[in-house]
């Protein structure tokens, strides 16, 4: 089966305080052979990038309304008159609040949804084929 990879590099903003943020180079990555997940790498130009993986549906919903709980939360807002998506990430190593441009995230998500439309993810996993092979033995 052919697998599709949809990537986008963009600059996020790490929010340090209401008055201060710093740029963070990032890469959004989606693979059709892992159809339920999105992969985000931060500090991609450094020797030790940080990787997060979470549900594509969480990010899709988070572009329109608050989504997620626990380690990953995503919600839309305005910053200096621009539409942005905020991502709050929590781990034992610390917390981060990141701001991403809505238009860039939405355009990338649309490409992932064309590659694997919602509701068709399960067929990409090949579970039925694997079960057929297992039961045929």
- Are 43 and 51 a contacting pair, CB within 8 Å? no
**What is the value of pTM for the model shown?**
0.85
Residue-wise pLDDT tens digits, 60-77: 999 999 999 889 999 999
Count other C-beta atoms under 10 Å from residue 89's C-beta. 19
| Portion of the chain with pLDDT greater than 70, in percent | 91
- Are 40 and 29 a contacting pair, CB within 8 Å? yes
What residues have CB less than 8 Å from 9, skipping those under 6 apart?
A: 25, 26, 27, 28, 44
User: Who has greater pLDDT, 120 or 74?
Assistant: 74
DSSP state of 57: H
Retrieve residue 80's tokens: 């200096």
User: Who has greater pLDDT, 135 or 68?
Assistant: 68
């Amino acid at each position: 089966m052919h697998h599709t990879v949809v990537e986008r590099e963009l600059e996020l903003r790490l929010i340090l305080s209401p008055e201060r943020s710093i740029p963070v180079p990032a890469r959004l990555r989606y693979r059709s052979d892992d159809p339920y997940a999105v992969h985000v790498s931060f500090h991609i130009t450094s020797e030790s990038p940080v990787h997060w993986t979470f549900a594509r549906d969480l990010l899709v919903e988070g572009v329109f309304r608050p989504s997620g709980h626990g380690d990953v939360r995503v919600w839309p807002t305005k910053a200096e008159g621009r539409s942005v998506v905020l991502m709050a990430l929590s781990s034992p190593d610390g917390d981060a609040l990141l701001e991403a441009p809505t238009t860039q995230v939405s355009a990338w998500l649309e490409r992932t949804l064309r590659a694997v439309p919602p509701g068709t993810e399960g067929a990409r996993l090949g579970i039925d084929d694997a079960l057929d092979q297992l039961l045929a033995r």
